[in-house]
C-alpha cells in the first residue's frame, strides 16, 4: 500500500477509523440507575477520604506542635538556635539562587 501524499494517507486512515467506529456503533452505555448508584457511591467514598485526610492533618499538626512546645520548654537555646539556622539557610539559598540566575542572564 503506497500513498502518494499525506492527504491520501489521512483519507485512508479516517476511512479505517470510521470502520472501527462502526464496529462499536452499538456500544451500550451504563444504565441510568447504574450510573446514579456509581455517583452516590463515589460521593460517599470522597466524603470518607476527605474526613480521613482532615484527621491525618490534625494528627500531624498536633504532633508538630507538641514537639515544638516540648523543645521550647526543655531546651529554649536549642529551639532558638534551630530557628536562626533555618532562617539563615533559607536566606542563604535564596541569595545563591539569585546570584546563579544573574550569572546565567549575563
Partner 1 sequence: MGDTTLEMISQAQQGDAAALAVLLREHYPFLYKYLIKATLDPLLAEEIAQDTMVRCMEKIGTYNGTSAFSSWLITIGSRLYIDRKRRWSREAQWREGQMQEQGNRSLRWSFESRNMEWSEVLDALSRLSSAHRMAVLLKHYYGYSYDEIGEMLEIPSGTVKSRVAAGLGQLRKELNEDEV
Q: Which spans of this chain sit near partner 1 (rule: CB under 8 A)? A: 1-3, 6, 9-10, 12-14, 16-17, 19-21, 23-24, 27, 29-32, 35-36, 38-40, 42-43, 46
**Beta carbons of 38 and 30 less than 8 angstroms apart:** yes
36 vs 42: CA distance, rounded Å: 10
- Report, in Å, the least distance between residue 66 CB and partner 1: 34
DSSP secondary structure string, 41-97? HHHHHHHHHHHHHHHHHHHHHHHHHHHHHHHHHH-HHHHHHHHHHHHHHHHHHHHHH
- Report, in Å, the least distance between residue 40 CB and partner 1: 6
Q: Which is nearer to partner 1, 11 or 95 (CB)?
A: 11
**Beta carbons of 38 and 32 less than 8 angstroms apart:** no
Q: Which is nearer to partner 1, 44 or 77 (CB)?
A: 44
Q: Which is nearer to partner 1, 45 or 100 (CB)?
A: 45
Q: Which is nearer to partner 1, 25 or 77 (CB)?
A: 25
Amino acid at each position: 500500500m503506497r500513498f502518494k501524499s499525506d492527504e491520501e494517507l489521512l483519507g485512508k486512515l479516517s476511512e479505517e477509523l470510521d470502520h472501527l467506529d462502526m464496529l462499536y456503533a452499538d456500544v451500550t452505555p451504563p444504565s441510568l440507575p447504574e450510573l446514579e448508584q456509581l455517583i452516590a457511591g463515589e460521593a460517599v467514598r470522597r466524603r470518607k477520604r476527605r474526613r480521613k485526610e482532615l484527621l491525618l492533618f490534625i494528627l500531624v499538626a498536633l504532633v508538630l506542635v507538641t514537639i515544638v512546645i516540648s523543645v521550647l520548654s526543655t531546651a529554649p537555646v536549642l529551639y532558638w538556635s534551630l530557628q536562626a539556622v533555618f532562617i539563615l539557610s533559607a536566606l542563604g539559598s535564596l541569595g545563591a539562587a539569585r546570584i546563579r540566575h544573574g550569572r546565567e542572564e549575563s
